[in-house]
Structure 1
């Protein structure tokens, strides 16, 4: 037997491990640096007279409690940055991170590379709730106005998830069946949305359509607490469940043989993902491709260990959405959902080709 048949040596294994850890660290650092850069660019882009370094100086001074002379250039810049730019960028970071976590969770849970946070029909349910509030004025709660739309969207997003969980508890369902059920639910809600929208006037139709394609315009500090709290709690749970997710990626039979209650674990994960996704889309609308593309990028670069895929996917998702939102801002009046789709579709195509060449399979 030759040395070639004996497999890799100990030194080769150690070297490959170090290279893998280096790739993980580099990808994470690139995303963090990119996020910091675009936060500064957001702060700079709509306020003339200050440099990029000035924006970071203003942000740091605000954090430290330092104040500027009233009505001076930096005083006005500080007000703009902290009342407009920072909450806008923060919502993009939270939304991107949360959708990426949900995407990684769904893909591991379902063993399906095409699974994303919207696979169970959550997006269609949220959209129906929002459109019902915008077009018809129907509210699922006593809340009205802008928060009424958010509340409607949140409740609407939970309806498909609760329906799938209800069915899953009574019928043993495979991942493929869950995806198909989610598709059927999506078609149902989409038909309801179309019916409601064709009965309204042009101005109301425009408002409903803009919500559908996803936008971060008008985000304030009031948009942050719920999204941030749900994202932190949900992401912490997913991180604690990464070992089980790794086993689930091997297939349902392997998971059962290793002592995992697949049905119960899947229901818990679906419920968690529903709440996380609902908390995001109820404020931002339907922003596609983040939860689909971010985990694929991470797996292509660093492998499929969810212990690393989940946290790094959060950084990649946050960077992708922040980057897309900055492009949307520069183009003026272009919703970030449109830009994200324009960026995400070719990136996803390239990832599929690269992954196919690398392993001979897509997933």
Structure 2
């Protein structure tokens, strides 16, 4: 966890230096400190660092932390190493909501947040459908996964139909949103994302002991007084809210919620009391590192962070499969 904090500090400082205006790492942190203390020396430099570059980095930290912890929760309640925050169909629901707003202009709101609100509300639909099905058929991992897959295919089909009808400019907008980016958030957006993510992380950390008991098997957990079905549904709701909030502002950023918990397990094991905070830090470090790579590898061309996380996540996950011990979930 200490290593992840050091990585975040170094990568954040490096990312601030990248741009048309050259700024040193130490100078960037000095500007941030001066802004916090109200001792602004250079207003132009303060604007570049605080208003232009820092929001992207903070968004990456918050989004990475939220997706990683959501991944921990999903893998724990479903006891499936392939589970991630999007297993519930959150990504497909958000994608349909955003596509609906971009291509047809149909949204629950107007203005700059039309796409965000649409994506958020439709992202919650699959989670509520899954919870309803789980209530009827018992909240077993198999039922929840199958319901999530079914909802995902339905929303993906509807999104494809909208794309076929879309104008070229609208289709380009949909594609840009689906790739995932950290560049389109403001401080007010970050505040909203951070509130939801922090509450979700605290709640999942609070449930970490029960998740450890659940890992021993449903029967053992019930024998120890845990309502297994309710625990799964509560965790599902928390994951849905965190994931939907992040996705609605950043678009679809894959592999962070899937890979981050697996990497952390290699170092600290499967105890959720430590896995949750460690994954939180590693996910944040992974996200801003991926964004930094995307901004520098083909500079001045910028690759969206969603592309980089997929490039990194695929080979890394394959390596984890080869290296994984059978008792890593122990």
Shorter-normalised TM-score: what interval? over 0.9
1:179 matched to 2:152:
no
8 Å contact kept, 1:127–1:193: yes
1:108 matched to 2:76:
yes
1:245 matched to 2:208:
no
Residues 181-238 of structure 1 show CA distances to partners (whole Å, capped at 9, x for unaligned) of 1011101100000000011122111110111121112221121121100111111111
Compute the displacement of 1:48 (Å): 3.1
Compute the displacement of 1:146 (Å): 2.8
1:134 matched to 2:102:
yes
Residue number in structure 2 paired with 1:193: 159
8 Å contact kept, 1:352–1:362: no
What is the root-mean-square deviation in Å for CA atoms of aligned residues?
1.4
Residues 21-64 of structure 1 show CA distances to partners (whole Å, capped at 9, x for unaligned) of xxxxxxx1111111111211121101534322111111111111
Match of 2:47 among 64, 79, 85: 79
1:343 matched to 2:309:
no
Which whole-Å CA distance do the structure 2 matches of 1:335 and 1:136 have between them?
25
Compute the displacement of 1:362 (Å): 8.0
Residue number in structure 2 paired with 1:36: 9
8 Å contact kept, 2:93–2:122: yes
Match of 1:302 among 260, 265, 268: 268
Which whole-Å CA distance do the structure 1 matches of 2:23 and 2:100 have between them?
44
Which whole-Å CA distance do the structure 2 matches of 1:319 and 1:181 have between them?
32
Structure 1 residues 262, 135: CA separation in 2 closer, same or farther (over 3 Å shift)?
same
1:258 matched to 2:224:
yes
8 Å contact kept, 1:96–1:314: yes
Tell me which structure has the larger Cα radius of gyration: 1
Match of 1:352 among 315, 321, 325: 321
Within-5 A mapping of 1:17-36? 28-36=1-9
1:51 matched to 2:24:
yes
Compute the displacement of 1:333 (Å): 3.4
Residue number in structure 2 paired with 1:5: none
Gaps of at least 5 residues in structure 2 are none
Residue number in structure 1 paired with 2:295: 329
What is the TM-score normalised by the length of structure 2?
0.96
Residue number in structure 2 paired with 1:21: none
Moved over 6 A (4+): 360-363
Match of 1:98 among 66, 70, 82: 66
Residue number in structure 1 paired with 2:126: 160
Residues 133-173 of structure 1 show CA distances to partners (whole Å, capped at 9, x for unaligned) of 0011111x2x2133010000000001001111112222214
Residue number in structure 2 paired with 1:225: 191
Residues 292-311 of structure 1 show CA distances to partners (whole Å, capped at 9, x for unaligned) of 00100111111111000000
8 Å contact kept, 2:270–2:329: no
Which whole-Å CA distance do the structure 2 matches of 1:361 and 1:308 have between them?
14
Say which is worse superposed, 45-54 or 283-292, in terms of deviation: 45-54
Residue number in structure 1 paired with 2:241: 275
What is the TM-score normalised by the length of structure 1?
0.87
Say which is worse superposed, 40-49 or 195-204, in terms of deviation: 40-49
Residue number in structure 2 paired with 1:216: 182
Aligned pairs, how many?
327
8 Å contact kept, 2:134–2:143: no
3-state SS, counterpart of residue 165 of structure 2: coil
8 Å contact kept, 2:270–2:328: no
8 Å contact kept, 2:60–2:287: yes
